[in-house]
């Protein structure tokens, strides 16, 4: 059974997420839907792209990933479906949101512009393509509709990439619910011995949280394979007054 993952900035206070699920289930009643997150900051493409990138590797090959963070909804921006080298399919707006995650799964092998209304809801709204266009397309794909049936091929996707370190200078690209500060330094590229410089502090590397005293800062490689600055049993973000965009340096020892 094909899984459909959902990632949006719709929040949970309104019925938007439920409407998307209803539109999917109206077409594919047996669909298995997995919520990645609906708490992406409104219209924050970079935050959505990171969240999607961090999640998709855990899914079975051939999953369908619906992602909508779409400040250009209703404009001339395109809706697209992308097949990756691993076989997963991404459905969403052509604003760069999908590309880092697609790259993580081997890169885009085929890109289609969504131009066939037969696979949408009738009379689609200009402000809710998640429900009226992207959700139905994801549902049809889960039932085996070929990608080529959805529209023409495209080769000029809007480009976007997650921020990368420059030399030994990186930055915080995500703050998780625990206050862990996720940097853009890949764990595989770290020097053998180093401290992390952030907000005027030097933070030592440790293998796991309990290696330091409660309340102490540490740096470690987190579940996404990236260097993180954490604090045992508390929030590193609060201790350091740090947020997305805060600069981070690697200081060899």
pLDDT for 164: 94
Mean predicted lDDT score pLDDT of the chain: 96
pLDDT for 253: 84
**Digit-coded pLDDT (tens) for 115-135:** 999 999 999 999 999 999 999
Tokens of 3: 């899984």
* Mean per-residue pLDDT, 185-195: 93
Cβ atoms of residues 230 and 180 within 8 Å: yes
Is pLDDT of 175 > 80? yes
pLDDT for 154: 96
pLDDT for 252: 85
Is pLDDT of 204 > 90? yes
Is pLDDT of 1 > 90? no
* Mean per-residue pLDDT, 139-145: 97
Predicted TM-score (pTM) of the model is: 0.95
**Digit-coded pLDDT (tens) for 225-236:** 999 999 999 999
- Set out the domains of the chain in order of their start, with CATH numbers: 3-150 (3.40.50.10790), 169-252 (2.40.30.90)
Question: By percentage, how much of the chain surpasses pLDDT 70?
Answer: 100
**Digit-coded pLDDT (tens) for 93-118:** 999 999 999 999 999 999 999 999 99
């Amino acid at each position: 059974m094909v899984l459909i993952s959902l990632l949006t900035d719709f929040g949970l206070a309104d019925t938007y997420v439920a409407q998307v699920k209803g539109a999917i289930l109206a077409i594919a009643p047996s669909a298995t839907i997995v919520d990645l997150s609906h708490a992406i900051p409104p219209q924050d493409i970079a935050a959505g792209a990171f969240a999607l990138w961090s999640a998709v590797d855990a899914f079975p090959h051939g999953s369908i990933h619906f992602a909508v963070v779409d400040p250009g909804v209703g404009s001339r921006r395109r809706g697209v479906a992308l097949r990756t080298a691993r076989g997963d399919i991404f459905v969403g707006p052509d604003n760069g949101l999908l590309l880092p995650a697609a790259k993580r799964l081997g890169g885009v092998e085929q890109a289609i512009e969504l131009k066939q209304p037969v696979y949408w809801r009738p009379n689609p709204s200009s402000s809710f393509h998640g429900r009226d266009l992207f959700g139905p397309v994801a549902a049809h794909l889960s039932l085996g509709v070929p990608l080529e049936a959805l529209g023409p091929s495209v080769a000029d996707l809007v480009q976007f990439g997650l921020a990368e370190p420059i030399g030994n200078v990186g930055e915080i690209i995500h703050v998780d619910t625990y206050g862990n500060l996720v940097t853009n330094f890949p764990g595989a590229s770290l020097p053998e011995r180093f401290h992390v410089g952030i907000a005027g502090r030097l933070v030592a590397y440790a293998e796991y949280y309990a290696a330091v005293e409660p309340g102490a800062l540490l740096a470690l490689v987190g579940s996404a394979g990236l260097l993180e600055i954490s604090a045992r049993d508390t929030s590193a973000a609060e201790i350091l007054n740090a947020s997305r965009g805060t600069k981070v340096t690697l200081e060899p020892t």
